[in-house]
Structures are given as C-alpha cells and as structure tokens.
Amino acid sequence: MIENPVLRGFNPDPSFCRVGEDYYLATSTFEWFPGVQIFHSRDLVNWRLVARPLRRASQLDMRGNPDSCGVWAPCLSHADGKFWLVYTDVKRLDGAFKDAHNYIVTCATIDGDWSDPIYVTSSGFDPSLYHDDDGRKWFLNMRWNHRPAGSGLNPAHDRFDGIELQEWHPERGLLGDVATIYVGTSLGLTEAPHLFKRNGWYYLTTAEGGTGYDHAVTLARSRSIYGPYETHPNQHLMTARFAPGNPIQRVGHGQYVEGPQGEAWHSYLCGRPLPGPHGLFCGTGRETGLAKCVWIDDWLYLEGGGLLPPATLSGPARLPGPATTHDFAAELPPEFQWLRTPCPARIFQMTGSALRLIGRESLGSWFEQALVARRQEHQVYRAETTVLADPPNWQRAAGLITYYNRHKFHAALITHEPAFGRCLRIVSCVGDTSEALTFQEPVALPDGPITLTVAVDRATQQFFWRADGAEQPLGPVLDASVISDEGGRGEHASFTGAFVGMVAHDLTGQGWSADFTRFSYTALAE
C-alpha cells in the first residue's frame, strides 16, 4: 500500500521523473548540506535515498545563508542520455528582496559525480527545465517583484510576478526574449512551474497559496508553449484548503509523471498537523506525497474525484527500512546532514570508532557549526546518543539536540560550570526573534561516557541521561511544538523541518572536540 506521505520528515517540493522502470523524486534541502535529496523507487512504495548531488564548494557554498535559505525547489529531469538538475541557492529570505541564483548541473548516472554548475538567472526562484520533443530546452521560474504594492501582474500577491519562460541552450545559455506565460489565479502566490506535453497540449503545473494551509496545485494548458494558458476547470488539481479536518494538509507544489503503462501520477508536498499549546504545528515539516490521477477531456483529475488526495493508495508491500542504530565505525550514515558548509572536515571526522565533532561556532551561527543530525520522520520517537566529552570550561559544550533553526532548538549539553565541574544542562531557544536563550539548572556528572536520550511525543519532549546506572530525567518536559514551521513566539512561519542529532561548540575558537560513539533513532507507536 502507498501510505502518504511516502517521504516522511523534511522532504518538500518534490520534483518527479521516470526513466524506464525507475522513478526518481528530488526534494529541497535548504541550508542543510549536501544539497538536494534524490530518492529512487520501482514500485512507488519503497523509496531509497540514492544521491545528494551538490557535494562540492564549486556547486554549493551556503556559509552565511540565513535560516530557510539555500537550496529551494530542485527540478530533476532526464534527456539526451543524462540527468539534469536545476536548483536555486537563495541568499536572502526576509524583506522585499530575494537574492535567488539559479543553476544547472548534469550527470550520466543518478549517483555519480555531478558537474560543476552552469549559472542561468537570478530573476526568481523555483526553476524548472523542460525538454521539448523538438530538442529545444526551456527554462522557467517564478519572477520575484520587490517593488511597492500595485506594481505586480497578479493583484492577489504583488511579489509573485508570474511565471517566466525563456529558451536555454547548454552551450549558448539563455536565448531570445523572456516571456511571462502565466500570472496565476485569484489565489495568488503562483510559483513552482513545471511543463509537460500530452496530446498536443502544453500543461503547466504550478503551486499557489503559499506553503501553509492554503497551498494548492494549479494546472493550466495551452496549444503553444508561450500561451495563453487556460486554467483547469476546477482551478486546482489538488488542495486541502477546503478540508481543515483532514490529517494531511498544506497540499501543493508537485510534478506530473506518466508510468510505463500510461498511469498518471502527481507528486505533492504536504504536512501532518498536530494540536499544540500555540495552535496547529507540523512536527515532521513539509513532506512528500503521491496521488493517482486520471485524464478526462484532456484535463487531469484526481482518481476518485475531488481535490483532496487520499492518504492511502493500493500498491505492493513495504519492505523493512534501513538500520536506525549506528556505531559510527565507518562512514557517516546517509540519513545525516550538516549545516551550510562544503568543508565537513572542519566540523567532523570519522575516527573508526566514533563521530568526532570539532567544536566551532555557536548554535546561532550561519557560517560554521558542528551540528550533524537526521530528520524527524515520526510524530512520536526516541533518539539516543553516547558522548565522550570533557569540556574544560563553560565555553565548550557537546550533546544531543532537537533543532529547527537558530531561533528554535532544545539541547542537552555536557559542559563545565565552576560551581559544578563537568555537568549537564539544557539550553533552549523557543522562537523569539531576539534569540534569547533559556537555561535549566546544571546537573553534576560523573567521569566517563554519558548517554543522552530525548523522547518526543507529538507536542512534548523530555531529555534523559545515564552513566553507569539507571536512566534519569533531565529537566522539565519541554514544548516540542517549537521545533516546527509554525513554532515560536516571534519568528515567522518558515518551511523546512525538524532534526535530531549531535552538536558541539567551542566559543574560544580553538577547535575542542567531543566523540559520539553511537546514535539511535526509534519510531514509536503514534
């Protein structure tokens, strides 16, 4: 059975393509490195991470990128015997301006060494590359408008100034004039363009309504690639905006794929909201779902009708997932990522028996932070790590963290306080734009390795610790809803997802280190 979301945890903006019998989904990674996640499946049920193609500084360097910037909305395609990946590196989020630089990389194999990037344009974000059947290639993106209200083409939202199209050639770059082919519907915030062709029609998939609870997939068609494009009779192909009680919300931003036997599929991003102390929140971030579709009168509709994609679809059995307990005896397990830097040797090393984190800048840094983590994929889970750390003063610390961004985290840190010596304390930032930290009282620690655990149950979380004896609670029950898009007291709703992992910092700049000998992540009944 296909159970939505098919890619759980932070996996938004799914670009969908098929090569023969093989399906591929590429998702955004924002400020997490390496850039872009690419998954493979043959049955649409069992998906395996096969590539993070942006691995070199020449392809992606996000040091200094603010939270929720970095790699937005990749587009994955296959033509001319190779894979093509289009992506944006966003350098600014807040305010009127968006510095959004769009690039293309290629590779003969999905898991190979991808090329250095070709720069295309910075006029907007959500880039897409369409390979027409006459051999020409077309580059699309939404255009950003920083000017005052009333200057945009769509009065529903001035900043989102329409979908622009221009021919592109691998050697000669952009060709001819740029054309605005679609300005969207009354819902506004029109973005995420993807073109495909069927029965002589060009179809344009877009996302509208923003990444929150008004999100939608909007479809339009034209006989000419330049338009004019006629909007779908239902306006949207799918959305959950009219079904607030549905367990899957925030439905939008996806791409069409036709199966080997002509089956029609469409990917979409979504969220699974939970009630929290401050309202609904999506603890697992923006995720990826799949919908089965049908063609009626050359228009695409959800199979079964309506606008709400179902939570389950018929399909083969799900195979057991990969191991979730690691002793770090070899290379870093594939589910882990780090923040921003293309120079991982400066923030961690694999010693053969541990993951050694080299303490760098603070938990609020946008540049070089020794934080290695994996996605929260479940609403109820338990994560555990064992740490060897003997910090000489309070400026060094290492431990276990639940993390969304520099405004939103809870960390159980081994540090050193003059009145306690080696000790353990919780440090939190709960979404205040002032980045104010809160500290729980330290707990004195014995010598030797310390095992730290966090148990997350929807909107709450609790840290625990143990040395040689029984596990003991650390500090109070904390608000886990902070670690989400919607969480926080002053921070705007962002659009990435929650992580849990290991962290170290050295605020003296001397590169003090701590060893993590194991890490486990266990999903619990929801």
Instruction: Indicate which residues carry an active-site annotation.
Output: 368
- CB of 228 closer than 8 Å to CB of 238: no
- What whole-number distance in Å separates Cα of residue 503 and Cα of residue 515? 10
What phi and psi values does residue 344 have, to the nearest 5 degrees? -65, -25
Strand 173-182 with 160-169, pairing: antiparallel
Beta strands in 132-278 (DSSP E): 137-144, 160-169, 173-182, 191-198, 201-208, 216-222, 230-239, 249-252, 256-258, 264-271, 274-276
- What whole-number distance in Å separates Cα of residue 374 and Cα of residue 521? 9
Tell me the three-class secondary structure of 41-52, residue by residue.
ECCCCCCEEEEC
Residues with Cβ within 8 Å of 11's Cβ and at least 6 positions away in sequence, in order, are 5, 25, 27, 28, 37, 285, 286, 287, 288, 375, 497
Tokens for 198, please give them.
């069927």
- What whole-number distance in Å separates Cα of residue 228 and Cα of residue 225? 8
- CB of 5 closer than 8 Å to CB of 283: no
**CB neighbours (10 Å) of residue 421?**
11
**CB neighbours (10 Å) of residue 448?**
9
**CB neighbours (10 Å) of residue 109?**
11
Distances in whole angstroms, Cα of residue 336 to Cα of each of 67, 80, 520? 18, 33, 12
Q: Give the long-range contacts of residues 50-55, CB within 8 A, separation 24 or more.
A: 50/24, 50/110, 50/111, 51/110, 51/111, 52/337, 53/85, 53/105, 53/107, 53/114, 54/87, 54/105, 54/114, 55/114, 55/342
Which one, of 169, 199, 173, 193, lies nearest residue 181 by Cα? 193
Tokens for 118, please give them.
């070709």
Which one, of 411, 402, 473, lies nearest residue 438 by Cα? 411
Give exposure, 315-348, as e/b (b: 16+ Cβ within 10 Å). beeeeeeeebebebeeebbebbbbbbbbebeebb
Cis peptide, bond prior to residue 228, ω within 30 of zero: yes
- What whole-number distance in Å separates Cα of residue 236 and Cα of residue 207? 9
Q: How many CA atoms lie within 13 A of 298 on its CB side?
A: 14
Q: How many CA atoms lie within 13 A of 221 on its CB side?
A: 17
